[in-house]
Structures are given as structure tokens and as C-alpha cells.
């Protein structure tokens, strides 16, 4: 046993749990923990410019690699409340992050002390555990429990609130004998797997829907192996995108009201059975349940027991970690195939592949101002196959999901359920911090970019190279498109006549992002000609790697472009031209049975 301050015990436990990186903003109430971090020099710290951004950096860091847990640190009052958005985002997407806040001394709790707030109560709805540690001797075990909870079952965030005097108190603690608690994950039984496969084999047009739980479980390799063994096409959700490469013959496209492919929706509507693994049937994926479920049976595999039946009742449910379930699915399918007990789904898979080959949206626009679709076409052409794309919400993200190509797990990092504006830039910086050797590309509209634009200075200070693609239409584009239903265009315009901009065309776009970017210590390129997009992206990629800072490529878009979306998966309004590659157009697709 050794005598030490409780704050030091917290740092030592984090070391034993594998933490090497933290993000945060120091403050008076959390300085004892920072003093321990400084003494140990074992955990690298990145200073955010906004505490909400620190929580999103922690999210990006976790999402970048299996096994990572991002840590964000701040004081309890406004810093703690600023981090609530990150905690909400993390719990919504099953992302483990540890939020540590400094609190007023215990004697001053509930006495309206300066920057003292009941952060424990505020954070409870958006965490797996929110705890103000009131006894110094409990600090190391509180951190041990936090890591156990974050990793067990459905992953998620934890907040630990440390009063100043608790951090400073001397305790007895033996770190040399410390071991992390065993992680609990439910596991499917072979009997359950066999029943699911029996149901699949009763179908003629089955699909696998792969959600974010497949990536959380680091099971993309098993998913692809299972699909190849069975010949069953895969529909990844937005959170599961990359679990199977976009160019894999059995990748059948994404389904949904917004972030979907034409061929993905058509294939879902043609199917008669769906095996969902690690997904939550999110409403942007399903649309109305009646349309989504009509004519097909469902098996749902999820790590969280209360997720089964939450949105709709499947025909069969299995509570299991995705990796554990897929290991059994692969084993059982291999045995059945070896015994000649598997069905030939090649005809169905070929029909799905034919839809994928023929049913596209147009991207090659040559107009000026630039149409957004052209930007994504050029991104696909410039960035390497292993690029990591980071995005959050808005027409930029929706179009990105429709037009970009993703070829591996954790190469599309997206805030799926919460979608807070401002998330993209700090989350991308967290991804870079996890692996500075990767090509990381943030994708934002102008409003998302402006929300936490000050974090560019973090990228410059800490030498975090990335490319930020900024598609600027000077609008809250998604909300403007939504307002069509109310026959209005109200309070969504970001454009104004900027007196400091010389170019009359650009003056009307409002904020001069290039000046702001350069003032933050980064590099900026601006594009107004569609033919200049590709060389600008290539130059940005080169500069980011050479200078080791964020480089922003701002594409000046036409003000109004409506991106394909709808109210049901069988009623998507395409708005723009469709690149139908069947010689007889839509009628040919219908006649061929590829489109209903």
C-alpha cells in the first residue's frame, strides 16, 4: 500500500486501464487532477478551446479505433454543462467516453458556490453512470467501476465528478495489484443461431442489416465472412457504413429517408427477410414501420436486451454482442454449407448487384456556382482508399452518405442520433489524435463549421493534420429544405454583404472563412469553379501532410440545391437528375423487376 492524493490514484487507474490521451480545459476546481497528470507525464493532453469541443474530441478518439476510450476533463460548472452535448451524443451512439469534472469542496455543495452545479444529476439521463465521489477512498474504485461500465454490455459514457477536497485528500492505495474488472458482454447460444438460420433459409430474398454494433464489437471481418459464406447481401446502416467495403459484390447499398442509395432502398423493398445485427432500427433508416416491415420477416440481434422490440417486434430476437453472435453464425453456416444444407442465393445477390450497377444519382455537374454533388465526385477521385471521413448533420452529411465511397470499418465517423452542429471539426481532431498517420477528412456545411470554428487553433497548436471540406451555400440548408413543407424560407439565411470582402460575388456569402482559418494558424483554399475542385483537394491533402495542420477547402456552392430525401423509403423525392444506366430508363428497371 502507498499513501497518495486521491487525484493521483485516479491518474494511476487510468494508466492501468490503458488511457494515454485526454482532451480538456483546466480550471481551478480540477487543478489537483492536472497536477497529477503533470507529475506522471503518462497521459498526453490536448487543450481544447471550448469544453463541448473537448467532449467531441474524446468521441472522435474513441470512434477512431476499437478499444479506445476518450477522456475529457473540465471544471464542474459551465465546463461540465458544456460537455453534456458530448455525453448525449456518446450515449446515443453507444460510444464510451469518460468525462471528469472538478467540483467545489464538499462543505460548499448546495450553497450556491461559484461555478458549483449538481452535474451528477444533470448528467444522469445521458450517461451509464454519473457520480459525485464524496469519499476520497472511493476514488480509485469509482474509476474502476467507470471503465467496467463503459466497456460492458452496450457501451456508453460515464461522468465522474470530483470535489476539490476529495482530489486533495491523502488515501492508501496499492496500484501494483490493481487489475481492470472483467468486461461483461451477453453471448448468443448455438440454439438461437440455428433458429435464426432456419428462418433465413425459409426466405428467397434475404438481407443482413449491419449496424454500428458490428463496428463497436470490431466484427467487420466476421460480417464479411458470414455474408460470403451464405451469399446474403448486406445493407449497412449509416453507423455501420464501412463494415463491408462499398465495392464488395454483396454490399447492397444503404437504406433510409436521407442517407440512402436508390439501389439500397429498392433492394430492401424487394426483400422478404432481414437479419439485423447491432442496429437500432433508427427512424431515418426505416421511415414508417408499416412500409419498412411489410412483406418481410425480421430477426434482431443486439447487445442491449431492451433494444429488442423497442421500435417494432421482430419475429425473433437474440441478445448478444455482435462479435459473439457472428462467430457462431459463421461456424453454423460453414457446417451447413459443408453438409450441403445451404440454399443458393446467387440469383438474388446478382439482382441486388444489378440494381447497384444501374440505379445512381447524377454527380457530374459542370454548372457554376458549384452543385454539391460534384464536390463528392471529386472527393472520391482524390482521397485514398483508406481515408477516414468525419461528418455530423445537414445536407452536407446527407449528400456525403449518398455519394462518397467508404471501404473499411471506422472510415465513416458520424454522429448518428444526436447530430449536434459543430461536432465535425473537434471530432475529426480527435480522430487525428488517435492516429496522425491516417488521411482524415472532415465534411461540413458552413453552419456546422462556424459552430466550433475556434478548434482550428487546436489543430494548429498540436500539429493535427487533416483536410476540412467546407461546402458553403450560406444557408441552413437542411432546415431550408424542410421549410418547403411550410411554404417558407425563414431565419435560415446565413448570407450578408461582408464589407471586408472585395469580390462582389463572394461578399454576398457572408463570413470570410479563409481569413478566419488563416487567423487560427491553418491553411485555406477557396474554389468557385467545379473543374478546380480536384486540384484544390489534392493540394490540401499535400499541405496538410507537409505542414501538419488542418487545411480547409471551401467550395462555394449554389445557394439552393435540394438533396434527395422523402417521408418513406418507397417515396424518395430525387429533386435532381437521376443517373439511370438502364437503356430503357426507369421503365426498363421496372420491367426488369429491379424497381417496384
* Of 33, 46, 51, 533, catalytic: 51
Q: Which of 11, 12, 19, 25 is catalytic?
A: 25
**63 or 576: whose pLDDT is higher?**
63
| Statement: residue 494 has pLDDT above 80 | no
Confidence check: pLDDT of 596 > 70:
no
- Rounded to whole angstroms, how far apart are CA atoms 589 and 532? 35
What would the mean pLDDT of 337-353 be, rounded to a whole number?
Answer: 94
440 part of the active site: no
Contact of 464 with 432, CB cutoff 8 Å: yes
Report d(CA 172, CA 225) in Å as an integer.
50
Per the annotation, the verdict on 326 as an active-site residue is no
Characterize the bridge pairing of strands 21-24 and 206-210: unpaired
What value does the mean pLDDT of the chain take? 93
Q: Exposed, middle or buried by CB within 10 Å (0-12, 13-18, 19+), for 16? A: middle
Q: Where are the alpha helices (DSSP H) in 231-371?
A: 262-270, 283-286, 289-293, 322-338, 346-358
Q: Is the pLDDT of residue 162 over 70?
A: yes
Q: DSSP class of residue 370?
A: B
Q: Which of 149, 330, 421, 458 is catalytic?
A: 421
Q: Is the pLDDT of residue 476 over 70?
A: no
Question: Catalytic pick from 308, 479, 501, 547?
Answer: 479
476 catalytic per annotation:
yes
Question: Of the listed 476, 525, 552, 589, which one is catalytic?
Answer: 476
State what percent of residues in the chain have pLDDT above 90. Answer: 79
Summarize the confidence of residues 579-585 as an average pLDDT: 72
Complete domains list, the chain, with CATH: 2-177 (3.40.50.970), 190-358 (3.40.50.1220), 368-556 (3.40.50.970)
Q: Is 118 exposed, middle or buried (0-12, 13-18, 19+ CB in 10 A)?
A: middle
Using one digit for the tens of pLDDT, what is the confidence trace for 404-460? 999 999 999 999 888 788 999 999 999 999 999 999 999 999 989 999 999 999 999
Query: How is residue 571 written as a grid cell?
Result: 417515396
Which pLDDT score is estimated for 254?
Answer: 96
Q: Which tens digit of pLDDT belongs to each residue from 104-114?
A: 888 877 777 77
- 308 and 284 in contact (C-beta within 8 Å)? no
Q: Is 569 a catalytic residue?
A: no
Whether residue 377 is predicted with pLDDT greater than 90 in this model: the reply is yes
Query: What is the pLDDT confidence band of residue 477, given thresholds at 50, 70 and 90?
Result: low
25 is known as an active-site residue: yes
Residue 311 confidence (pLDDT): 95
Amino acid at each position: 500500500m502507498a499513501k497518495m492524493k486521491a487525484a493521483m490514484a485516479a491518474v494511476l487507474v487510468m494508466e492501468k486501464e490503458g488511457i494515454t490521451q485526454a482532451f480538456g480545459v483546466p480550471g481551478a476546481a480540477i487543478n489537483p487532477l492536472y497536477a497529477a497528470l503533470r507529475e506522471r507525464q503518462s497521459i498526453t493532453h490536448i487543450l481544447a478551446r471550448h469544453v463541448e469541443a473537448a467532449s467531441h474530441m474524446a468521441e472522435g478518439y474513441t470512434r477512431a479505433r476499437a478499444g479506445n476510450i476518450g477522456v475529457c476533463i473540465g471544471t464542474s460548472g459551465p465546463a461540465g454543462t458544456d460537455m453534456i452535448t458530448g455525453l448525449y451524443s456518446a450515449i446515443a451512439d453507444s460510444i464510451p467516453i469518460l468525462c471528469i469534472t472538478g467540483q467545489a469542496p464538499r462543505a460548499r455543495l448546495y450553497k450556491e458556490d461559484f461555478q458549483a452545479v449538481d452535474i451528477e444529476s444533470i448528467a444522469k439521463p445521458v450517461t451509464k453512470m454519473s457520480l459525485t465521489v464524496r469519499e476520497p477512498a472511493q476514488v480509485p474504485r469509482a474509476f474502476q467501476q467507470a471503465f467496467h461500465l463503459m466497456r460492458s454490455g452496450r457501451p456508453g459514457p460515464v461522468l465522474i465528478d470530483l470535489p476539490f477536497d476529495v482530489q486533495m485528500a491523502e488515501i492508501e492505495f496499492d496500484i501494483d495489484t490493481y487489475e481492470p474488472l472483467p468486461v461483461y458482454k451477453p453471448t448468443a447460444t448455438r440454439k438461437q443461431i440455428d433458429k435464426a438460420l432456419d428462418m433465413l433459409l425459409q426466405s428467397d430474398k434475404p438481407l443482413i442489416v449491419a449496424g454500428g454494433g458490428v463496428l463497436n464489437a470490431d466484427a467487420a471481418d466476421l460480417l464479411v465472412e458470414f455474408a460470403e459464406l451464405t451469399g446474403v447481401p448486406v445493407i449497412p446502416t449509416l453507423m455501420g457504413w464501412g463494415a463491408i467495403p462499398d465495392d464488395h459484390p454483396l454490399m447492397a447499398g444503404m437504406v433510409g429517408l436521407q442517407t440512402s442509395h436508390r439501389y439500397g432502398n429498392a433492394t430492401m423493398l424487394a426483400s422478404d427477410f432481414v437479419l439485423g445485427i447491432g442496429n437500432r432500427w433508427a427512424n431515418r433508416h426505416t421511415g414508417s414501420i408499416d412500409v419498412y416491415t411489410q412483406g418481410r420477416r425480421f430477426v434482431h440481434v443486439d447487445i442491449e436486451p431492451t433494444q429488442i422490440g423497442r421500435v417494432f417486434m421482430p419475429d425473433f430476437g437474440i441478445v448478444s454482442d455482435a462479435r459473439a453472435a457472428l462467430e457462431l453464425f459463421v461456424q453454423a453456416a460453414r457446417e451447413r454449407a459443408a453438409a450441403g444444407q445451404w440454399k443458393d442465393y446467387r440469383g438474388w445477390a446478382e439482382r441486388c448487384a444489378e440494381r447497384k450497377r444501374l440505379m445512381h444519382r447524377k454527380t457530374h455537374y459542370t454548372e457554376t456556382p458549384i452543385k454539391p454533388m460534384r464536390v463528392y465526385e471529386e472527393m472520391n477521385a482524390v482521397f485514398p482508399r483508406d481515408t477516414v471521413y468525419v461528418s455530423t448533420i445537414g445536407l452536407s452529411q446527407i449528400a456525403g452518405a449518398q455519394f462518397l465511397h467508404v471501404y473499411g470499418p471506422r472510415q465513416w465517423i458520424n454522429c448518428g442520433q444526436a447530430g449536434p452542429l459543430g461536432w465535425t471539426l473537434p471530432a475529426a481532431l480527435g480522430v487525428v489524435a488517435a492516429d496522425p498517420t491516417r488521411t482524415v477528412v472532415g465534411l461540413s456545411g458552413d453552419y456546422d463549421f462556424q459552430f466550433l470554428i475556434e478548434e482550428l487553433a487546436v489543430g494548429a497548436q498540436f500539429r493535427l493534420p487533416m483536410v476540412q471540406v467546407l461546402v458553403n451555400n450560406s444557408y441552413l440548408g437542411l432546415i431550408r429544405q424542410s421549410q418547403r413543407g411550410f411554404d417558407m424560407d425563414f431565419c435560415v439565411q446565413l448570407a450578408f454583404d461582408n464589407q471586408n470582402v472585395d469580390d462582389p460575388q463572394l461578399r454576398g456569402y457572408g463570413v470570410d472563412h479563409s481569413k478566419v482559418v488563416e487567423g487560427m494558424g491553418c491553411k485555406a483554399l477557396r474554389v468557385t469553379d467545379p473543374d478546380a475542385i480536384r486540384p484544390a483537394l489534392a493540394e490540401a491533402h499535400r499541405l496538410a501532410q507537409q505542414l501538419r495542420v488542418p487545411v480547409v477547402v471551401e467550395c462555394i456552392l449554389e445557394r439552393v440545391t435540394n438533396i434527395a430525401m422523402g417521408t418513406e423509403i418507397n417515396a424518395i423525392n430525387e429533386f435532381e437528375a437521376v443517373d439511370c444506366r438502364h437503356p430503357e430508363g426507369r421503365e426498363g428497371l421496372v420491367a426488369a423487376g429491379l424497381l417496384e
